[in-house]
Chain A
Amino acid sequence: MITRHQAIETIFDDVADSDLVLCATGMISREAFGVHDRPSNFYMIGSMGLLSSFGLGLALMSPGQRVIILDGDGSVLMGLGTLPLIATEAPPNLLHIVLDNEAYQSTGGQPCISANVSIADIGKASGYASSIEVNSVDGIRSTMAGFQGANGPHLIVAKVENGPVEHIARVSHSPTEIRDRFNDQVQVLS
């Protein structure tokens, strides 16, 4: 089993400068901030469950940029209806990645029902262009490399450890700083 940290590092290896990366509430935002803070990252510091719908609106209206949603298992289950909505609207530039540690780690590691539920199967049933579960660094890397510009929306569920959370900094930017620097990176339709 890989750590969430390894998974996030591997994902960012594939991120291009113009890609917008949206990071889920809690430890995912904090770890992405620690691993690879950049203006094109949006850290969702509240509103658990909202990330995927925010990403859908962005992907639809900024079609020239790849939008990567770094979601959590608890977060994606909280906004589950958004999965078939994403598949229905079908923005080809959207990549939805769920880091599934089967727990609510930010609140103390309480178990999440994703241990019993295949989020990748839900993605398939919803109608994503592709939906796959991976559990290794190579699995993440080869899946992302394999898209080669193939139209999305794609879903990758990466199973990760429910590991320790010590020494992970909080996002130090204020909400309006996150908004403004991110907004500057979004390509506006002319």
Chain B
Amino acid sequence: MSAIIEVKQLHYTYLPGTPYERQALKNISIAVEAGDFVGIFGPNGSGKSTLARQFNGLLRPTQGQVLVCGKDTTNEKIRRSLWNKVGLVFQFPEQQIFQTTVYNEIAYGPRNLGLPEEEIRERVGQALAMVGLATQDIANLSPFSLSGGLKRRVAIAGLLALHPEILILDEPMAGLDPVGRRMIMEIIRQRRENNATTLMISHDLQEILNVADKIVILDEGVLVFFGKTSELLDHPDILQSYRLQLPLYLQVVYALQEKKQPVKQNIGSLEEAAAEIIKLFP
């Protein structure tokens, strides 16, 4: 299997040579394979968003190498052309909405690709369906008149319409209510089903554990963990340092283990945890 994103000893420094110089990423090496669903977790200011900006060419490595689809992003020409391969959904993407209709908003990216109008129409339709808005007569409404949750879905559709090989979502759930979050989960589930390479950034470990096959943990710009989700669950020593951010079922499981109860530690869902705990009762 060849990697679709390869990061080799990446360092990144903001504003080098000024009084505000800050090293945001230190010696990061990871490899994402086609079809992977990777969760990127880290506390505030850990460098998650900086890392994502390296993948679609917005930032250039200060040191080291980032290869996307085999191409080196130190080359400016390649960086400039990456936007249509790597779709980056920013945090609060509804902030970028600017067109007068939902249709035009979603068509903005495809139009920049220079596609013919009929293909654009088709792609907008598909994208609306992917974010669960196909049945609604929404395409001709002004995106500014929509609720926050709907705006966010329209903004995500705008990137899906580019048919990116890799999709990166930066905190897609932030600020949404449970219904809004469920809608975003649905979009994520579809991408997983289609084996489309997806990266999701979150400061909420629970969200990541629920969906990712592989997990990257960053802390103050340093790579703390990179590997399969099940491997991470076998490393309570790493997870313990984020103890209060663990899903409640893991907190219960670890607390039970500390009291020498015979429960296994590699548990991936609340249901599994409940089944495991029940076994304690004869």
- Tell whether A and B belong to one assembly: no
